[in-house]
Structure 1
Amino acid sequence: MTVIGIDLGTTNSACGYWTEDGPKLIPNRLGELLTPSVVGLDEAGAVIVGKAAKERLIDHSGSTVAAFKRLMGSDHKIMLNKKLFSAPELSALVLRSLKEDAEAFLGEPVTEAVISVPAYFDDNQRHATKLAGELAGLKVDRLINEPTAAAIAYGLHQKQEGTFLILDMGGGTFDVSILEFFDGVMEVHASAGDNFLGGEDFVEAMVDALLNELQIEKSSLDVRLLQTLYMQMESAKRRVSQMDTQEILLDFGGEKIRWSLTRDWFSRVATPLILRSKRPIERAMSDANLSPAQIDDIVLVGGSTRLALFRSTVGRIFGRLPSTHIDPDTVVALGAAVQAALLSKNSALDDMVLTDVCPYTLGTGVVNEDSPQQGLYFLPIIERNSTVPVSVVRRLATAADNQTELQLEIYQGENRLVKKNIFLGQLNIKIPKAPRGKEEIDVRYTYDMNGLLEVDVTVVSQNKTYSKLIQRNPGVMSEKEKEASLKKMAALKFHPRESEVNRALIAKGERLYEASLGDKREKIAAILSQFDAILDRQNVNEIKKAQLQVKELLESLDSEDWL
């Protein structure tokens, strides 16, 4: 049975598998390699995923959602047509779509997968990703960090050894990893990142700057107009590296404004975000104890690394331009497919070994009575960038006389005060009464290749151990909640695969019709009417021929290329 590799992205997702010729991507039901990470419900309550859903973002914004990956690991819920969905449930719908595409392409059931996650995803977010896989009917054999997956695909493709810096900026996150490839071993030396820095943030900054210049309150715009503005800024961002000036027609509810977006304007707006990207790079280089001259190559991953401003900034830091000969949108899925083959013990990859690191520090709170600061202090147990799997034990003692219970709180972060770090969970331990400092406990943290943390606490005097796998975190379901979610997902209606092409074309045509005027609008209406008539005749060969013609016509009319 084939184990697939999945890149579950903020903007787009993709999947692949291993072949005799190396990793290959699996096309979706539209014949495309990238599936937009967008989910919607139509008027009948049926689920729409991917391109067809993305085409509905403007005109059906109340029943369509994108960029929900940024909510993974949180309690946030999203309302679609009066139904509440969590981020793992929405991600599961994307994964289910990829799973069905893989099954149709491979001609066999697909039940196991390797899923990529940002290197800087915390424990909560990793659990939420595994949950999404389970809800989609997949056994998640391994979570692989996105930069590591990219490095695997790049290393195998290039067949060269050395030390590589992987810069991965997608729609929602920015990851930095430093890896060394030698003698069939891919060793991660350091990781750093920013979970809230990606293409979505550049678009947000552009929208805010534009509205500020025009002195328009964002809250005064209705959802449809605001969504249209976001789409226009997304399109402009993608073209800004090729065009000095772009003329954009803005529609603010009847008041139309023609506005010029220049490369200099974009540079001013984007510079604060670009400067934020330098900090994770510098931290990873420092943790790996490397100088820029010791980096053999710089590999860019994720669509946002196409920005010329980002590439020139990286060039100034390292004194040379990064590699741009690999597709930043698909390399993670290819690497995840390689990892899937490794787990399947594929004979062609038996000689390859992969190591990874814990990208953040894990520890607990302790009392420090010598300091005037209020609250607990952070005691690191597993330091960031420790090679995984890793298991570290620290001995602690009671802080008060006659304690009968000790509450061990588990944190992730880099600040010396626990209140400024991320709380992951707690473990309550019963201990015998004794003077302060007399009773001791051994605290062991174990962190595995999936980025999951297990905590064991042993009361030394009793040799009794308490254990906890961190899983009751924000956004993570109990078994009862998971069962209820599975029932809810099973009750949802999904459109037949064969109708997805038609739905995507009609949705695109409707979007273009809404955005057009005059002759162009009439032409689009005629195209859609003819297509509707062909669909009504239900002639399979005629429909397939019409699909190609309609696709070409609509693409030629689509001046707002935001795909």
Structure 2
Amino acid sequence: MAAKTALNGSAEAPAQISTLPPVVGINFGNSYASIAVFTKEGLAECIANEDGERQIACAIAFQGEEMYIGNQAKQQLVKNAQNSITGFRNLLGKKFSEISQSENNSSAPVIQHPDLPDTPAYKVQVLQPSPSPLPAGSNVTSPAASHAPTPRSEPVPVDRILTVSEVNTIFLKSLIESAEDFLGKQITGTVISVPSTFTDVQKDALEKAVSNAGVKVLQLLDEAGAAAATTTTAEWSTENLSQDRTQLLVDLGSSSVSLNILSVREGLTYSLASSHTSSVGANDIDDKLIKFFAADFTKKTKIPLTVCPSSSTVDQRAEAKLRLAIEHTKRTISASPGAATCSVESLKDGMDYTGSINRMRFDMLGSPIYAAVAKEINSLLASAAMDPHDIDEVVYIGGTSCLPGLNDRLCIEVGLHEDIETPFARGTVVGGGLGDPTTILARGCAAQAALIDSIQEDEIRAAFGRESKANEVSATTKTLGILFPNDLPENKDLGGTWIPVVQKETALPVRRIVSLDIALTAESKRVAFEAWEVEEGIRVGTVIPPKTSSEEDEDEEDEEPEEIKHRTLTKTTLLGSVDTQAKLGIQTKGKSQDAGKWFTTVEVQFVVGIDGGVDIELREVGEGGVVERIHVSSL
């Protein structure tokens, strides 16, 4: 019996096993969507779909037997608007009787479903493929059976009824398939951003649409939470950006503005105030830009063109062409300080159009919208009893927020301080940088999805659910810290040197530790401080700016006084005091200015519980060091 020959190797290439988590983050807006995954470098990055789009238009169009999704579908709005569907996200969970017919007038109209009561739907015309021809020699019950195949008939036009949920499922499934193509594996879960205005019914409808797309929803993450997941990462941090800061989120959507003020405390975020208004949006800028180019077209060609609103079918198509073309114009204005062009082939009556607009003119057109956004911010600050100088960082969300003119106008009109941190100040907006407003939400969702996917315990996973009580968080209302009494002139307001430990608006529970080198006297080695709760405020003063030598030579009127703001601290509640003797003090040697002086190192720990109780501990660093504790019940 011959021995079997052992195989030496294999002709097949080893399979490449992806180690990336099989989850995806989706920023699902009403106008545009974006998808992000966790890369092998451990970063959340936006990816493109099969058409190379990172900003994917929320649009679906039917043309004959073809279905288009994304920016290709948006192109169909010019000549095939009746079979193109847009604005479907905001209709999730709504009844037909709740929908205003003016909500969506640029695409296929919303109709009452013929079979489901009070259910919104879309009716589009498609070509239904005819059955395949019968093969030759088929056994058919025909008196004159032919051996030739049955000729294939032409596709038949039919009306197709799609519910809002079905449309959302089709679109979401295309996003998930793009992520699967990138990762090379099946997606098992997703985190999706949702606006704060979504009701529980709408969230249920969104979860159902995602489930019908074949993916489990790990979490429906509020847009402010998705932004916080991105802006609290190590990659976002800079030298000038404090770990304890107050953040303003500005989301300029197509038809609304959402604002959020968040306190960021060493990676933990807490919502201080929020607002949402539908009275202003990016569509207002688009309308003004379209009117500008339409007037320019009429001036150059003497052909009348009425837009926003359009008066005829021809003008409606011309407006749709301009609305598509200005997307490129706005992106160019955002990325370049020069002029941006708008080119449309056969805009009206067979006449091509090419126009341009510089940034100054663009900002003049957008000035009323910029002012309206600034007014909303000021109203939000007033409702939260906050001063503009309390804001340390501004984060922009959405494609229209990429406009530098908007950032400049808000900083001036709102009254933010000069060294405010913005993506424009850091230069991270242009070229799809870290601060790109179009990718922040998707990257935050991807980071959150990877985090949840890595958790094995069901109890901890349940904390990310909508019904979890872990979402009910309270925060400190005032700053807690320690005061070392002294008579120095710069400390006359508080009577000593103030060291903040727990900042106001810090989510509970919290633990903070500060390490201090304390000077001692050679005789007593005494360590003493008071623990206080203080209230922060803003004091407004005026100063007259000094004149330069050239101004003194000229006979001009007196300069108007300038408003100067200073941060203030006011002691409100004494939590306790510590007066003890250090055991591990050491004397500094050498020839420095501190030579011969005594010092010791201590750590002061503050622990604030969910109930508001405070535990303070002083511990001298080193074996055998002094330890003192203070307990304060709920404030």
TM-score (norm 2): 0.49
Q: 1:175 aligns with which of 255, 258, 272?
A: 258
User: Counterpart in 1 of 2:206?
Assistant: 129
User: Counterpart in 2 of 1:39?
Assistant: 60
Q: 1:323 aligns with which of 423, 429, 437?
A: 423
Greater relative CO, 1 or 2 (CA 8 Å, sep 6+):
1
Mapping of residues 462-541 of structure 1, within 5 Å: none
User: Counterpart in 1 of 2:124?
Assistant: 80
Q: 2:236 aligns with which of 140, 158, 163?
A: 158
Q: How many residues align?
A: 359
Matched, 1:224 2:329: no
Matched, 1:253 2:349: yes
User: Counterpart in 2 of 1:92?
Assistant: 169
User: Counterpart in 1 of 2:138?
Assistant: none
Q: 2:447 aligns with which of 329, 332, 338?
A: 338
Counterparts of 1:355 and 1:289, CA distance in 2: 24
3-state secondary structure, aligned to 2:61: strand
Mapping of residues 270-289 of structure 1, within 5 Å: 270-289=366-385
Counterparts of 2:353 and 2:56, CA distance in 1: 33
Offset at residue 305 of structure 1 (A): 0.8
Structure 2: 5+ residue stretches without partners? 1-20, 97-109, 111-120, 126-158, 238-242, 299-303, 429-434, 465-469, 475-504, 509-635
Bigger proportion of residues as helix: 1
Over 3 Å counting, the alpha-carbon distance change for 1:162 and 1:107 in structure 2 is: same
Over 3 Å counting, the alpha-carbon distance change for 1:163 and 1:356 in structure 2 is: farther
Mapping of residues 176-215 of structure 1, within 5 Å: 176-195=259-278, 197-208=280-291
Counterparts of 1:247 and 1:32, CA distance in 2: 20
Matched, 1:116 2:116: no
- Residues 344-370 of structure 1 deviation map (CA, whole Å, 9 limit, x = unaligned): 3549xx9x9996899xxxxxxxxxxxx
Counterparts of 2:223 and 2:472, CA distance in 1: 11
TM-score (norm 1): 0.55
Counterparts of 1:356 and 1:313, CA distance in 2: 36
Offset at residue 166 of structure 1 (A): 1.4
Counterparts of 1:238 and 1:145, CA distance in 2: 27
Offset at residue 252 of structure 1 (A): 2.1
Q: 2:46 aligns with which of 15, 25, 29?
A: 25
- Determine what percentage of the aligned residue pairs are the same residue: 26
Counterparts of 2:450 and 2:270, CA distance in 1: 18
User: Counterpart in 1 of 2:387?
Assistant: 291
User: Counterpart in 2 of 1:508?
Assistant: none
Structure with higher Rg: it is: 2
Offset at residue 336 of structure 1 (A): 0.7
Counterparts of 1:54 and 1:184, CA distance in 2: 39
Alpha-carbon RMSD across the aligned residues, in angstroms, is 3.8
Counterparts of 1:259 and 1:105, CA distance in 2: 38
Amino acid at match of 1:163: T
- Residues 500-548 of structure 1 deviation map (CA, whole Å, 9 limit, x = unaligned): xxxxxxxxxxxxxxxxxxxxxxxxxxxxxxxxxxxxxxxxxxxxxxxxx
CA contact (8 A) 1:70 1:172 kept: no
Offset at residue 210 of structure 1 (A): 5.8
Q: 1:107 aligns with which of 170, 184, 189?
A: 184
3-state secondary structure, aligned to 2:64: coil
Counterparts of 1:268 and 1:356, CA distance in 2: 44
Counterparts of 1:66 and 1:114, CA distance in 2: 22
Over 3 Å counting, the alpha-carbon distance change for 1:106 and 1:62 in structure 2 is: same
Over 3 Å counting, the alpha-carbon distance change for 1:161 and 1:189 in structure 2 is: same
User: Counterpart in 1 of 2:396?
Assistant: 300
More displaced stretch, 303-312 vs 154-163: 154-163
CA contact (8 A) 2:329 2:340 kept: no
Offset at residue 7 of structure 1 (A): 0.7
Over 3 Å counting, the alpha-carbon distance change for 1:315 and 1:187 in structure 2 is: same
Offset at residue 209 of structure 1 (A): 6.0
CA contact (8 A) 2:402 2:436 kept: no
Counterparts of 1:96 and 1:173, CA distance in 2: 26
Over 3 Å counting, the alpha-carbon distance change for 1:91 and 1:202 in structure 2 is: farther
